Amino acid sequence: MTKLDGKIAVITGGTSGMALETAALFAANGAHVYITGRDKTRLDRAVAGLEAAHPGSVTGVQADSGVPADLDALFRTVAEKHGRVDVLYACAGIGSLSEPLEEVTGASFDEVFAVNVRGTLLTVQKALPLMGAGGSIVLNGSGGSVRGVPGSTVYAASKAALRSFVRVWTAEWGPRDLRVNLLNPGPIATDVVNRIPAGVIEQIVNGVPAGRMGLPSEIASAVLFLASDDSRFVRGSELFVDGGFAQV
Ligand SMILES: NC(=O)c1ccc[n+]([C@@H]2O[C@H](COP(=O)([O-])OP(=O)(O)OC[C@H]3O[C@@H](n4cnc5c(N)ncnc54)[C@H](OP(=O)(O)O)[C@@H]3O)[C@@H](O)[C@H]2O)c1
């Protein structure tokens, strides 16, 4: 018996990084996992890799979390194929750590908020009708939402919005058997590293008490905890998986 036997899981932005690692761990724990991404080639490659290890455990759906119609299509597919969602990991997110306030534009603000804030809200809202008793939702935030990392004005604020989401929804849902929690990664060694200037990475790692970046597998095991019944009395909380980055 594994932790997610027979569960239906949806992971947005699951074609690389910590979400792909989580999809593999979910599949290894008995779940059928839907993963999304914008790029079809990357999506197909991720599905093929997961299917090779866990045949029949994965469905890929091309969907941009910044496009509401894509999210409608995603959950229509899940409804038709499985009729329910037990676990939702809303991980898709974008943003820059090298955009000082003077360089922020209306367009850059709207682009990040459309994916990270509106996209996360609509992902949860559209999943809700498919979620029954025992459902668990995990949002992906960032340790940067509580640390003043220079250059992260828009990104950090967009992730800070998720801190409110988990608290308000936990209050709105009351005793309903449905949970939502926020996982805040610190600096994690994913493809994102290739898109951030080396100097910025070095500066961030210097601020991590653990003295290194985290691994995608270290996020995946924490998401599995929040997704599974191991955490069934954990609601509206924030779990920082950050080597101490946002704690000191
Ligand atoms: N790595 C870190 O240090 C770190 C720290 C704190 C928080 N985070 C957050 O963790 C999440 C994942 O980060 P990561 O480092 O694992 O990233 P990653 O390796 O770059 O992977 C991002 C994934 O999200 C997908 N994606 C991007 N925009 C999307 C959109 N609009 N709709 C659907 N899918 C989308 C990408 O595929 P496509 O490009 O094909 O869409 C890819 O599968 C993000 O929310 C990020 O903000 C990362």
CATH at 168: 3.40.50.720
The mean per-residue pLDDT over the stretch 52-65 comes to 98
Q: What domain range is 221 assigned to?
A: 8-239
What digits encode the pLDDT tens for the residues 160-192?
999 999 999 999 999 999 999 999 999 999 998
Within a domain: 48: yes
Q: How far apart are CA 73 and CA 43, in angstroms?
A: 16
Within a domain: 66: yes
Pocket of ligand 1 (CB under 6 A): 12-19, 36-39, 42, 64-66, 91-95, 115, 140, 142, 185, 187-188, 190-192
Atom number of ligand 1 nearest to Cα 143? 6
Q: Whose CA is nearest to atom 47 of ligand 1?
A: 93
Q: Which two tokens stand for residue 58?
A: 């994965």
The mean per-residue pLDDT over the stretch 22-36 comes to 98
Within a domain: 22: yes
Residue to mutate (ligand 1; options 10, 11, 38; most atoms within 8 A of CB): 38
Q: How far is the CA of 223 from the centre of ligand 1 (A)?
A: 15
φ/ψ (deg, to 5) at 99: -130, 85
Long-range Cβ contacts of 126-132 (<8 Å, 24+ apart): 126/71, 126/72, 126/74, 126/75, 127/10, 127/75, 127/85, 127/88, 130/75, 130/78, 130/79, 130/83, 130/84, 130/85, 131/84, 131/85, 131/86, 131/88, 131/178, 132/84, 132/86, 132/177
Does residue 155 carry a catalytic annotation?
Answer: yes
Domain count, the chain: 1
What digits encode the pLDDT tens for the residues 97-139?
999 999 999 999 999 999 999 999 999 999 999 999 999 999 9
The mean per-residue pLDDT over the stretch 30-38 comes to 98
Within a domain: 54: yes
Q: How far is the CA of 178 from the centre of ligand 1 (A)?
A: 25
Atom number of ligand 1 nearest to Cα 141? 7
* Residue of 155, 169, 240, 245 marked active site: 155
Within a domain: 2: no
Within a domain: 244: no
Q: What is the percent of the chain where pLDDT is above 90?
A: 94
Within a domain: 179: yes
Integer angstrom CA distances of residue 11 from 24, 59, 100, 108, 144: 11, 10, 31, 25, 22
Within a domain: 246: no
Q: How far is the CA of 92 from the centre of ligand 1 (A)?
A: 5
